Amino acid sequence: MKNLSGKVAVVTGSSKGIGAAIALKLAEAGAKVIINYSGDQGAADEVVAQIESNGGAAYAIKANVSSKEEIIRLFDESITHFGKVDIWVNNAGVMLNNFIRDLTEEQLEKQLGINFKGVFYSLQQAATKLADNGSIINLSSTVTRTIFPTYGVYAATKAAVEQMSRVFAKEIGARGINVNCVLPGPTGTGLFLNGKSEEQIAQLAATNAFKRLGTPEDIAKIVAFLATDEAKWISGQSIGASGGMA
């Protein structure tokens, strides 16, 4: 069902993983999609090509979301290319696990920059540039509801995004814009699988009700629904997408 026809969506960090799945699902629902990437142009171009081969419209824009100037450019270039932005999905993120005592300043700053500042800068721009009656979906994480050693700073950045989203939902609601967070659990992406042993992956997969890892498509379906008019009465919410993990 093309329930996003006529809409324009921007998905940050959408050259691979959950972001790519979200971009493909939004395009399938009829939206024109901006594929944002920071380094892998080839992967971004592949997502664009896949959307276009399915009859959709997409365009890739390189931008580092931790930079205010680049977020401004991403918004402006998206509007220049497709005429407006109706849907903004903050998917770009980085997870650098370490015990709090051992986390380096570089690891701290990178997670604060991408996970928190990237969302903050985009909300600032959305306040005036997102189309009326639009939708904002911010990707958080189920680790905000768990207590996993080594996830302290990553979880803290995501918890900050959830609280900021709740506040922003009330600040921008008068324009008909809803703001929500989606909290994936363990999902089979490069970001999640990197550095984990098969035993660790199996243990984490066993923590949910279905005893499997989530898929990027599991998350994309929820994001796509939240972008529709049918979800307009949902705002300021943090929606778990973890198969009952937490």
Q: What gap in Å lies between CA 69 and CA 73, rounded to an integer?
A: 6
CB-facing half-sphere around the CA of 130: CA atoms within 13 A: 27
Sequence-distant (6+) residues with CB within 8 A of 174 are none
Residues 6-44 as b or e (16 or more Cβ within 10 Å = b) = ebbbbbbbbbbbbbbbbbbbbbbbbbbbbbbbbeeeebb
Q: What gap in Å lies between CA 143 and CA 246, rounded to an integer?
A: 9
Q: What gap in Å lies between CA 220 and CA 225, rounded to an integer?
A: 9
Q: Could you confirm whether 154 is annotated as catalytic?
A: yes
Pick the catalytic residue from 37, 59, 151, 154: 154
Name the amino acid, one letter, at 224: A
CB-facing half-sphere around the CA of 22: CA atoms within 13 A: 32
Q: What gap in Å lies between CA 208 and CA 244, rounded to an integer?
A: 5
Name the amino acid, one letter, at 176: G
The DSSP H or E segment spanning 109 is helix 105-111
Active site residue ranges = 154
